[in-house]
Amino acid sequence: MNKYDYIKRQLAKTNKKNDENYIITRIWHLLDNYDIKINTQQYVVRSNKNQRVEYGLIDLYFPQFNLAIEIDEAHHMNDINQTLDEIRKNDIVNALDCDFIRIDATQSLEKIHEKIDQVVEKINLLIKEQWFIPWDLEKEYDPNTYIEQGYIDADDNVSLRLVADCCNVFGAGYAHGIQKSGAPHKFEEDTDIKRLKFFPNETWNNQLLENEEIFIEYNTIPEENEAYFQKRMYQLNQKIALFAYAKTSSGRFEAIFKGLYVLNREKSKDTGVLTYNRISTIMPTYYPKDVKQPLRIAEAYNNDGYKVAHFYTENQVRKFEGKYKKRYKIISYS
């Protein structure tokens, strides 16, 4: 798939919704920039009142800027729907930690164009930021992109194609695909890398909960669940670098990076279900051990002292600082 095919697919999703189609295509053509990626009908995970995972859709999403655009059509404008839309907006913002812009499609053409112009102006300003990385369709599926970057971040909506790709981001060095759902991390020895399905799958019913801050592994056959429970609790690694196998805006099922999770042993013992808490949305990436790597010049840490990234150039450090502001502490080797 090339960029033209990808963009056609995104715009085609809006064909039966006239307001969405008009506004989204106008935004795209006014931007007139092939370095920008758009997702229409972007999947987003939300938790319902029972803390079960739900999938919502955003009308237009710019993953490079974490910017969501919602188009309010006529049926959105009664009091009940406006209240529901506000709840949905808050759910999306909480789930993605994103900027959110609404465009009211019931207004005059002049007002709609004015709002569209504001969106285009905002994006054109963001493009000038140091941390902006132009869209490259092939590079975004290439593990080397994230290895060279020094980190992988769930907030960047990273999708990979194969389990081997997921492992290779962390320095596994697989030349071919693997048949398992993951492998032990070769550098962080207390961690396993796993690609899991979060929908009923044969006897497994894994779930992402609470805006993806928690996930559970559960086998519906009690004997098999207990056997795996005991193995994970007392033999296997307690941390999981998690990828969720789910449908993406490309229309395909891919492995979406979700972050680093740690087994909650007390909760797991109380419930008999393996329960994990997310401890970081961002993880450092690694070159394979048999590959000569550039000299590292700095590292970044979160407030808990976990290393989330390392850097090979001053430009990488500046981009990271510009993107994350003061969320992480950067320590220079020099």
Contact 208, 95 (CB under 8 A): no
Q: Does residue 325 carry a pLDDT above 80?
A: no
Work out whether the CA dihedral 319, 91, 76, 14 comes out positive or negative.
Answer: positive
Decide which of 93 and 265 is more confident.
265
Residue where a domain stops, chosen among 93, 127, 161 = 127
**Least confident span in 39-43, 66-70, 73-77, 98-102:** 73-77
CA-CA distance, 291 to 307, in Å (whole number)? Answer: 22
CA-CA distance, 217 to 203, in Å (whole number)? Answer: 11
What pLDDT, in 10s, does the model give residues 12-24? 999 989 999 999 9
What pLDDT, in 10s, does the model give residues 209-243? 987 899 999 999 999 999 999 999 999 999 999 99
What pLDDT, in 10s, does the model give residues 183-197? 999 999 999 999 999
How would residue 248 be classed by pLDDT, with cut points 50, 70 and 90?
A: confident
Please give the residue range of the domain that contains residue 192.
139-293
HSE toward the beta carbon, residue 204, CA cutoff 13 A: 13
Are residues 143 and 287 located together in one domain of the fold? yes
Are residues 144 and 120 located together in one domain of the fold? no
**Least confident span in 54-68, 91-105, 240-254, 310-324:** 91-105
Contact 208, 53 (CB under 8 A): yes
Q: Does residue 83 carry a pLDDT above 80?
A: no
How does strand 99-104 pair with strand 67-72?
parallel
Decide which of 87 and 186 is more confident.
186
How would residue 177 be classed by pLDDT, with cut points 50, 70 and 90?
A: confident
Decide which of 200 and 164 is more confident.
164
pLDDT reported for residue 283: 98
Is residue 299 in a domain? Answer: no
Contact 323, 296 (CB under 8 A): no
Average pLDDT of the residues in 156-166: 93
Are residues 67 and 182 located together in one domain of the fold? no
Average pLDDT of the residues in 299-306: 94
Are residues 235 and 111 located together in one domain of the fold? no
Is residue 281 in a domain? Answer: yes
Are residues 215 and 90 located together in one domain of the fold? no
pLDDT reported for residue 179: 85
Q: At residue 89, what are phi and psi to the nearest 5 degrees? A: -60, -45
Contact 231, 210 (CB under 8 A): no
pLDDT reported for residue 56: 67
Q: Does residue 144 carry a pLDDT above 50?
A: yes
pLDDT reported for residue 46: 52
**Least confident span in 49-53, 100-104, 166-170, 230-234:** 49-53
Are residues 113 and 185 located together in one domain of the fold? no
Q: In what order do the strands lie in the sheet with 53-62?
A: 39-47, 53-62, 67-72, 99-104
Is residue 194 in a domain? Answer: yes
Are residues 265 and 167 located together in one domain of the fold? yes
DSSP per position, 71-114 = EE-GGG-SHHHHHHHHHHHHHHHHHH--EEEEEETTS-HHHHHH
Residue where a domain stops, chosen among 104, 127, 150 = 127
333: DSSP letter: -
How would residue 94 be classed by pLDDT, with cut points 50, 70 and 90?
A: very low
Say how many domains are in the chain.
2
How would residue 87 be classed by pLDDT, with cut points 50, 70 and 90?
A: very low
**Using H for helix, E for strand and C for coil, what is the string for 216-258?**
EECECCHHHHHHHHHHHHHCCCCEEEEEEEEECCCCCEEEEEE
Is residue 184 in a domain? Answer: yes
Is residue 168 in a domain? Answer: yes
The CATH number of residue 38's host domain is 3.40.1350
Q: Which residues neighbour 114 within 8 Å (Cβ) at sequence distance 6 or greater?
A: none
Are residues 39 and 112 located together in one domain of the fold? yes
Decide which of 156 and 314 is more confident.
314
Are residues 161 and 120 located together in one domain of the fold? no
What pLDDT, in 10s, does the model give residues 63-78? 888 899 999 986 555 5
Are residues 77 and 151 located together in one domain of the fold? no
CA-CA distance, 266 to 199, in Å (whole number)? Answer: 25
Distance from the first to the final alpha carbon of the chain: 44
Angle between helices 3-12 and 18-31 (to 10 degrees): 150
Are residues 8 and 35 located together in one domain of the fold? yes
pLDDT reported for residue 54: 55
pLDDT reported for residue 80: 43
